[in-house]
Structure 1
């Protein structure tokens, strides 16, 4: 499992995952051959595809893991390195270790006669294209009783997750000479004030234990000259465009969000140039599973945990949906990202116990 993971880390999967997925398929074919079925699922984006490895057309269990990673902060991150109990590399913990666990569980599931699918999918870090394609094709057609996504969780079993919304917004202010700033509307500053007020607003809808957050991921502002934004130090910027996300701890609808946004900006004399919803996914709450899985590991509701696209499986396919994987989660996306080697094997053992009782 460790050698497989080290090789998987060497593939740059920030944009295209095909080489890594070909490696996964070749590795499994070399061991299991025609015992298993190998399905490539085109997601219609630059030739990218998901890989589904299965021993049945009607799975009781799905193990899933995404192969893509966030952009590297150093090319050395694609050179795996072991130091004691730590395996360093981009995607080591988020979540190529989880993919390695899924593949390592094939033998266990075959021996225990479990009907399974293993989904190695694309584009989780960006637009969820891989999981969207999977549920589009198989929603209503399969009825697994259990789905486990082996995301990094520090070996905690999460039964619920916050929702996520991603929005593009461009606003317009009023340009004046910077010496007369009080007569204008600085679009960049107002954008930041809007995000701060938006977070306060969505948190008013949170119930106990839930924490909604905003994240301004990128902003570009200045003077709009025929659609091109330029910066000029002595002029108050009249436009700002950005992308931001909402980590939803409540069932805030897009209509409620849009109403707040338009009312707030209008009240402050700010024009909306463009407003685009890219994703809007609600929280997943499975409180009935907290006791059901507590004998295997620590279980949490996930009300302060990040979004997982296992929520799409729950919505369109159904069954129990869990997150459980190695750690430390806190090192995901960091320049010194690593996975604790011991936690990989411990996570695999926890999942084996769940699957054994399930079988």
Structure 2
């Protein structure tokens, strides 16, 4: 059994420590002290400039399965109101669902395993940094450690995801000519070019590859005053089902762009590429997870994880990742972010059961 009171206290304390990507040190310091207080042995893996991952391993130093959670968050929407707040069974605050809820559940499952078993850990635990930016924590983990399987606690409403969409982040820029606003012409306006630029790509996606999920963000232009802006920038996120070869798709988009624009009018660069994957449900860990769900009489409805995460980084290093965590991802990265504590408890029990069955 897990300690629910201890789990809730840990989660709220983690939320109360501000830890955006690149600034996780205060939280890693807290977690190291927490583990020392609870006699949980760990290793600190430095990633960059005293930032690092916290790793819990069996005494043997080896295991086939690693539980992985990222402790960083996106930046706060409101620096005065990012801390935890509890309303009935709901815990609000920055990172509650993405993914301090999953991290707290994993830590509690290891503490409970240690208290309830005389044997060594059957799996490892990695609390990593940097997921919301470059994924440098996951890269460091996969470089220095070797595992067959990973359970990643991203929010999935506690349903297992054995497949993961691919992800492409595209940086776009359009260029124009700065002239007085009263003399503006559409073909010289960088914002108008960016609108045309985006419409060409979106029309292609919606017509030819309609099940790809796209998101336009961070659209901005140069500060022109009462004049035509000479530069406009935007980012385009693409989340792709595994059947789409990323190289072929991006080549088609690039060809489409330069059939409509000159090289000096636009710029197109691929900032992030994460290939998707799909695991068979007949593998050792998927079968074990299914048995755990049946034992607890939990609803079992596996699906594809459509967001980006550290999973493709681990996959590319030879680790087979399964995404399984508490919370609804639709509340992540929002001002109303929250997680139902009952599901955090359920996650901790599930992780503990998985370790007991390994």
Q: TM-score range by the shorter chain?
A: 0.7 to 0.9
Q: Check conservation: 1:199, 1:212, Cα contact below 8 A.
A: no
Match of 2:302 in 1: 300
How many angstroms does 1:352 deviate by?
A: 3.0
Residues 1:315 and 2:322 aligned together? no
2:107 to 92, 103, 123: 103
Of stretches 279-288 and 85-94 in structure 1, the one that deviates more from structure 2 is: 279-288
Match of 1:288 in 2: 281
Gaps of 5+ in 1: 222-228
Equivalent residues in 2 for 1:128-277 (5 A)? 128-138=135-145, 142-144=146-148, 146-174=149-177, 178=181, 181=184, 184-202=187-205, 206=209, 211-221=211-221, 229-235=222-228, 237-250=229-242, 251-254=244-247, 256-258=249-251, 260-269=253-262, 271=264, 274-277=267-270
CA deviations over 1:68-127 (Å, ceiling 9, x no partner): 111112234443221101111111111111111111111444426443221111111111
Matched residues, number: 337
Of stretches 347-356 and 152-161 in structure 1, the one that deviates more from structure 2 is: 347-356
The change in CA–CA distance for 1:246 and 1:289 in structure 2 (over 3 A counts) is: farther
In structure 1, how many angstroms separate the alpha carbons of the residues matched to 2:262 and 2:312?
Answer: 38
In structure 2, how many angstroms separate the alpha carbons of the residues matched to 1:312 and 1:234?
Answer: 44
Q: Check conservation: 1:61, 1:114, Cα contact below 8 A.
A: no
TM-score (normalizing by structure 1) = 0.83
In structure 1, how many angstroms separate the alpha carbons of the residues matched to 2:61 and 2:174?
Answer: 50
The change in CA–CA distance for 1:272 and 1:213 in structure 2 (over 3 A counts) is: farther
TM-score (normalizing by structure 2) = 0.84
Q: Check conservation: 1:265, 1:271, Cα contact below 8 A.
A: no
The change in CA–CA distance for 1:99 and 1:245 in structure 2 (over 3 A counts) is: same
How many angstroms does 1:12 deviate by?
A: 0.8
In structure 1, how many angstroms separate the alpha carbons of the residues matched to 2:186 and 2:36?
Answer: 69
Q: Check conservation: 1:165, 1:246, Cα contact below 8 A.
A: yes
The change in CA–CA distance for 1:68 and 1:117 in structure 2 (over 3 A counts) is: same
The change in CA–CA distance for 1:199 and 1:59 in structure 2 (over 3 A counts) is: farther
CA deviations over 1:184-241 (Å, ceiling 9, x no partner): 24321322332343244346665xxx932222221222xxxxxxx4314343x33222
Q: Check conservation: 1:202, 1:252, Cα contact below 8 A.
A: no
The change in CA–CA distance for 1:157 and 1:22 in structure 2 (over 3 A counts) is: same
Gaps of 5+ in 2: 1-6, 294-298
**Aligned-CA RMSD value:** 2.7
The change in CA–CA distance for 1:277 and 1:61 in structure 2 (over 3 A counts) is: same
Q: Check conservation: 1:173, 1:271, Cα contact below 8 A.
A: no
In structure 2, how many angstroms separate the alpha carbons of the residues matched to 1:129 and 1:30?
Answer: 28
Q: Check conservation: 2:70, 2:100, Cα contact below 8 A.
A: yes
How many angstroms does 1:154 deviate by?
A: 1.2
In structure 2, how many angstroms separate the alpha carbons of the residues matched to 1:301 and 1:83?
Answer: 30
